[in-house]
A and B are shown apart, each in its own frame.
Chain A
Amino acid sequence: MKKQHQKLLFALLFLVSFLVIFLQVKAISSTDQPSFSSFYGLRQIEHIQKTGLPIIFDSLSYQGRANTTQVGFYYLMALFAFIFPLILISKFINLILLLVVVFLVYFTANKLFANKIIVWLLTLMTLLSPILFTAHINNFDPGVLFAILLLLILNVFFTLKKETSLLFIFLILLSTLISSLSLIFIPTFIIYVILMTTSSKKLSSVEAEVILFSTVFIAWLHFIIYKESFLEYGVSLFQKSIPSVLFANSFYGLTISVAISIVGLIPLLLGVYGTYLTLFKEPTKKNLLIISFLFSFILALSAGFISFTDGFFYITLLLILLSGVAVKEFNGFLNKTVFQKLKPLFFIFLVFLIVLNFMPVTNYGSVVNSQAPTPDELKTMSYLANNTPIDSTVLSTIKEGYLISSEANRKNFYDENFIFAPQANQRYMDAKKMFLSKSQMVVLEQMRFYGIDYVYESPQTLKEYPLSESVFESGDCFEKVFETNTTRVFKLICKN
Chain B
Amino acid sequence: MQKLKQNKWILILLFIFAILLILATPIERSLNGNLLTPGEETYHHLNNIEGGTTNFYELIISNLLNFIPLTILIIVLPLILMLLSLTLFYSIIIDYVKSELELYFAMGIFILTPVFLTIHIGLILYSLLLCLTLMIVHFYKLKSKLFLLFLLLIYFLSPFIGLILILFLLLDAGAKKTKLNLFILLGFIGLIVVLGFFIPNIYLQFSSLQFLFKPNQLFNFLGGKYGFVLFSFVLGLLGLYSDKDAILNLGQRLMMTIILFVSFFYEPLRVLLIPFLSFFAANYLTKLINKKWAVFYLKEVTIILFICMLLFSTISEIQGANAENPTLNQKEAYSFLYLVKDQNPEVSSAKLLTNPAYGEQATYFSKIEAYSFLDDAQSILFTKHLMKSRDYAFIKERLQQEKIAFIYVDDLMLNGNILDKQDQGILFVMDNNDNFKLIYSKNKEKIYYFTLWNYSDTLS
Name A's B-contacting residues (CB within 8 A): 162, 165, 169, 204-206, 209-210, 212-213, 216-217, 219-220, 223-224, 227, 230-232, 234-235, 423, 426, 445, 449
Contact A206 B295 (CB under 8 A): yes
| Residues in B74-107 with C-beta less than 8 Å from chain A | none
**Proximity bits, B225-238, A CB within 8 Å = 1, else 0:** 00000100000000
> Of B216, B302, B316, B423, which is within 8 A of A235 by CB?
B216
A220-B309 CB under 8 A given contacts A210-B298, A213-B298, A234-B216: yes
**Proximity bits, B202-246, A CB within 8 Å = 1, else 0:** 000000000000011000011100000010000000000000000
Q: Is B305 an interface residue (CB 8 A)?
A: yes
Contact A165 B295 (CB under 8 A): yes
A205-B294 CB under 8 A given contacts A223-B221, A232-B223: yes
Complex Cα gap A231–B320 (Å): 10
Contact A449 B295 (CB under 8 A): no
| Chain A residues with CB under 8 A of B411 | none
Chain A nearest Cβ from B310, distance in angstroms: 11
- Residue of B whose beta carbon sits closest to that of A165: B295
Q: Is B145 an interface residue (CB 8 A)?
A: no
Contact B423 A220 (CB under 8 A): no
> Of B221, B222, B302, B423, which is within 8 A of A213 by CB?
B302
- Residue of B whose beta carbon sits closest to that of A215: B234
| Residues in B282-317 with C-beta less than 8 Å from chain A | 293-295, 298-299, 301-302, 305-306, 308-309, 312, 316
Contact B294 A162 (CB under 8 A): yes
Contact B416 A223 (CB under 8 A): no
| Chain A residues with CB under 8 A of B423 | 445, 449
| Chain B residues with CB under 8 A of A231 | 221-223, 316, 320
Q: Is B420 an interface residue (CB 8 A)?
A: yes
Among B215, B230, B312, B421, residue most surrounded by chain A Cβ atoms (within 10 Å): B421
**Proximity bits, B307-334, A CB within 8 Å = 1, else 0:** 0110010001000100000000000000
| Residues in B413-427 with C-beta less than 8 Å from chain A | 416, 420-423
| Chain B residues with CB under 8 A of A205 | 293-294
Contact A220 B293 (CB under 8 A): no
- Residue of A whose beta carbon sits closest to that of B288: A212
7 further contact pairs, Cβ within 8 A, besides A206-B295, A223-B309, A423-B420: A169-B298, A223-B221, A224-B312, A231-B223, A423-B416, A426-B421, A449-B423
Complex Cα gap A445–B421 (Å): 13
The 5 closest A-B pairs by CB, nearest first: A234-B216, A205-B294, A426-B420, A234-B222, A235-B215
Contact B309 A230 (CB under 8 A): no
Chain B nearest Cβ from A245, distance in angstroms: 15
Complex Cα gap A224–B410 (Å): 30
Contact B308 A220 (CB under 8 A): yes
Number of interface residues of B (CB under 8 A): 25
Contact A234 B294 (CB under 8 A): no
Contact B230 A209 (CB under 8 A): no
| Chain B residues with CB under 8 A of A206 | 294-295
Chain A nearest Cβ from B412, distance in angstroms: 12
Contact B305 A220 (CB under 8 A): yes
| Chain A residues with CB under 8 A of B221 | 223, 227, 230-231
Chain A nearest Cβ from B236, distance in angstroms: 14
| Chain B residues with CB under 8 A of A165 | 295, 298
Among A227, A231, A234, residue most surrounded by chain B Cβ atoms (within 10 Å): A234
| Chain A residues with CB under 8 A of B420 | 423, 426
A216-B295 CB under 8 A given contacts A234-B216, A234-B223: no
Complex Cα gap A230–B423 (Å): 28
Complex Cα gap A216–B307 (Å): 11
| Residues in B178-220 with C-beta less than 8 Å from chain A | 215-216
Complex Cα gap A32–B220 (Å): 48
A-B contact pairs, 19 of them (CB 8 A): A165-B298, A204-B294, A205-B294, A206-B294, A206-B295, A209-B294, A209-B298, A210-B295, A212-B302, A213-B298, A213-B301, A213-B302, A219-B230, A220-B309, A220-B312, A223-B309, A224-B312, A231-B221, A234-B222
Complex Cα gap A227–B320 (Å): 12
Contact A423 B421 (CB under 8 A): yes
- Residue of B whose beta carbon sits closest to that of A163: B295
| Chain A residues with CB under 8 A of B215 | 234-235
| Chain A residues with CB under 8 A of B302 | 209, 212-213, 216
Chain B nearest Cβ from A236, distance in angstroms: 8
- Residue of B whose beta carbon sits closest to that of A221: B305
Complex Cα gap A220–B222 (Å): 13
| Chain A residues with CB under 8 A of B216 | 234-235
| Chain B residues with CB under 8 A of A169 | 298
Complex Cα gap A235–B422 (Å): 28
Contact B421 A227 (CB under 8 A): no
Chain A nearest Cβ from B264, distance in angstroms: 13
Complex Cα gap A39–B251 (Å): 59
Contact A162 B295 (CB under 8 A): yes
Chain A nearest Cβ from B276, distance in angstroms: 22
Contact A216 B305 (CB under 8 A): yes
Chain B nearest Cβ from A441, distance in angstroms: 13
Contact B312 A223 (CB under 8 A): yes
Complex Cα gap A234–B293 (Å): 35
| Chain A residues with CB under 8 A of B294 | 162, 204-206, 209
Complex Cα gap A213–B230 (Å): 14
Complex Cα gap A213–B301 (Å): 8
Complex Cα gap A37–B223 (Å): 31
Chain B nearest Cβ from A365, distance in angstroms: 42
Complex Cα gap A215–B147 (Å): 41
| Chain B residues with CB under 8 A of A423 | 416, 420-421
Complex Cα gap A235–B293 (Å): 34
A219-B295 CB under 8 A given contacts A213-B301, A235-B216: no
Complex Cα gap A210–B297 (Å): 11
Complex Cα gap A445–B299 (Å): 60
A449-B298 CB under 8 A given contacts A216-B306, A234-B223: no
| Chain A residues with CB under 8 A of B316 | 227, 231
| Chain A residues with CB under 8 A of B306 | 216
- Residue of A whose beta carbon sits closest to that of B421: A449
Complex Cα gap A165–B299 (Å): 13
Chain B nearest Cβ from A319, distance in angstroms: 29
Complex Cα gap A216–B308 (Å): 10
Complex Cα gap A213–B309 (Å): 13
Chain B nearest Cβ from A189, distance in angstroms: 12
- Residue of A whose beta carbon sits closest to that of B227: A234
> Of B222, B298, B305, which is within 8 A of A230 by CB?
B222
- Residue of B whose beta carbon sits closest to that of A222: B221
Complex Cα gap A232–B308 (Å): 22
Complex Cα gap A209–B230 (Å): 18
- Residue of A whose beta carbon sits closest to that of B217: A234
Complex Cα gap A257–B378 (Å): 43
| Chain B residues with CB under 8 A of A217 | 301, 305
Complex Cα gap A227–B222 (Å): 9
A235-B298 CB under 8 A given contacts A220-B305, A223-B309: no
| Chain B residues with CB under 8 A of A204 | 294
| Chain B residues with CB under 8 A of A426 | 420-421
| Chain A residues with CB under 8 A of B308 | 220
Complex Cα gap A204–B294 (Å): 9
Complex Cα gap A311–B407 (Å): 47
Complex Cα gap A232–B305 (Å): 24
Complex Cα gap A223–B220 (Å): 11
Complex Cα gap A224–B309 (Å): 9
Complex Cα gap A389–B354 (Å): 41
A216-B416 CB under 8 A given contacts A165-B298, A223-B221, A231-B223: no
| Chain A residues with CB under 8 A of B295 | 162, 165, 206, 209-210
Chain B nearest Cβ from A183, distance in angstroms: 13
- Residue of A whose beta carbon sits closest to that of B419: A426
Complex Cα gap A230–B313 (Å): 12
- Residue of B whose beta carbon sits closest to that of A227: B316
| Residues in B116-163 with C-beta less than 8 Å from chain A | none
Complex Cα gap A180–B301 (Å): 22
- Residue of B whose beta carbon sits closest to that of A226: B221
